[in-house]
Structure 1
Amino acid sequence: MSKIKYYYDTETCKYERVKVKKRDVVINALGFFSLSLILAIGIIVVLSNYFDSPKELALKKENDELKLYYDIMQNQLTSMDDMLKVLQEKDDQVYRTVFEAEPIPETVREAGSGGVLKYRDLLESDLSNKDLVVGTLDKLDRVKKKMYIQTKSYDEIMQLARNKDEYYAAMPAIQPVSNEDLRRFSSGFGMRTDPVLKVKRMHYGVDFSAEQGTPIYATADGKISVARTTYTGLGKHVKIDHGFGFETVYGHMNRYIVKAGQNVKRGQIIGYVGNTGKSTAPHVHYEVHINNKAVNPVNYFYMDLDAEQYEEILRLSTIENQSLGSYANQ
């Protein structure tokens, strides 16, 4: 029941009833609602800026948990990458060194797998943490690529291990001329004076001086790739492909007793010392190539020599003297 209000009229000296106009009621109601609306908006602004709703609190908690899991995942990826680096170092410096295999180039190991362009759709999305996600996915792809390369490397190492016996049988490991028949080690690997041209030239092998007709032995198992006679350079000479990148050359023979395509064993006689081609005295010119590159054959004489003999051969090979053959037209 609404209250009836009165006022004292001084002219009539009576209490008169207060009559409320509808216009005043509307204005008062609008004022009340306006004030209430302003207060409500203010309360909402304050609550939204300084207080989280239950839903926001749940989302923030979820984000914190996701960030924690993200940090754990990043640490695990970093640990995996560090472990891969250790495996790569062992692979290159130990396993591949043992089997004399070339290390895997760093550019191959560090190669990417498409970069962030793989994730263009993700980058163009409205995801707030897209850079974080893309960076993690890219790092994961790189680790996966390194792991794949490492597994392929281990497959190669395992194959080398299985072929170890064949590998060592194919490695040149003896002298082409027996120590009993050897007159002297006449010229080593390196810059030497050409006996014909009388100028310093690279001598890609070693010269063993011996009587003409002295047997020449294959220094490792392999297949004859060349058995040829020329009137310049190496004269009558033989080349043996041993596999695994090894090749040996025997020059200035008096004659050879093998033919191209024939398989030979280490220690098998393949010919005899001579003085053919551009040679100034009976000897055998002997070369060792690894992956088509000439290397010092002295490093592969260890099966024929004891420690003192090997040291002496090393000393003699460093003496700069004149080679016994010229290979200008070889």
Structure 2
Amino acid sequence: MSPANHYKKTEKTIIRRILAFFGMIFKAVGRFFAKAYQTGKQRFTIMLIPHSEKSIFNFRVSVFSLIFSGFLLGGVVVSFLLFSTRFSGLSRLVDQKETALEDSRSNIEAIREEITELKKVSKTFEASLKTTMNTFGVKGDVKAASVLDGGDLSSFFDVQEQSEGIGRELSELRSLREFLEQSSDDLLRVSDIMSSQGDLLVELPTLWPVEGGVGRITNYFGPEIHPFTGQWYLHKGIDIAFRRGKPIVAAANGKVVERKYDAMGFGNYVVIRHPYGFATKYAHMDTVYVEEGDVVTQGQKIGTMGNTGLSTGPHVHFEVRIGSQVVDPERFLNVKSDLR
């Protein structure tokens, strides 16, 4: 037998065995389903016998019906369990949401109370802002963002004109924001004016010449009796008494133009020239820290209080001049207090 014929014969044998194997499987499956079908067709009679035994109820069911009923019952039980679990979860979620809602209501009430207090503070702030602006001569339309009834903040209570769908509290906060935005512009203008005045004040002799603002005036500007001669004379400044060694400070920015010692008069004294034609003199000092030509700033220490020259005790003689004319220093020392 040739190899080709032998190969074909072997191939046919393998195919027959495979077909036989699958045929056996199909027959086994068929027998199984046939047996199952026969078993499922079997019927059972269920009898319900009451205690009276007058009438007996019976009915027949097949195995298929029992299996179907079992699956149906199992599905109902599983569905019930799933529904119960989901319902419990939803119940807990609802409880959590209710708790969160109560907390939100409490927070809203707290916010409303804070807004009420804020409106009261806004009214006070508006009055203070108007007073400040009037003091500095600043014109501003504070009414533009008013927020209180009966005054310039009335838009806070004008709920009827609020846009539909916007809560009252939100509208009030928006009105307050607009008011504060405009107030910020007004305060910036006041700040600019105060800054410019502050720049001016440091160049004018407005600072108390004794460090810390201490001391008391023992002799005022004007006619006085000379403590040594007993004669009337014009006292050209003020005398501020305190303890010896207390620092003396420059009343304004300027340049030291004179530093001398006058044994029969002012003792150790310093003259500082300031802008706008002003000059100040500090006399009877114990020690002097500056020299002629030094540039000093307002509040800088220039020496200490003493009792040099013709003096009855530790003090500083303080003069203010405009050009060649002496003026009362108190008129300038009170400038800052008048602006507060």
- Higher-Rg member (1/2): 2
Q: TM-score, normalised by structure 2?
A: 0.40
Greater relative CO (CA pairs within 8 A, separation 6+): 1
The answer to which structure has the higher helix fraction is 2
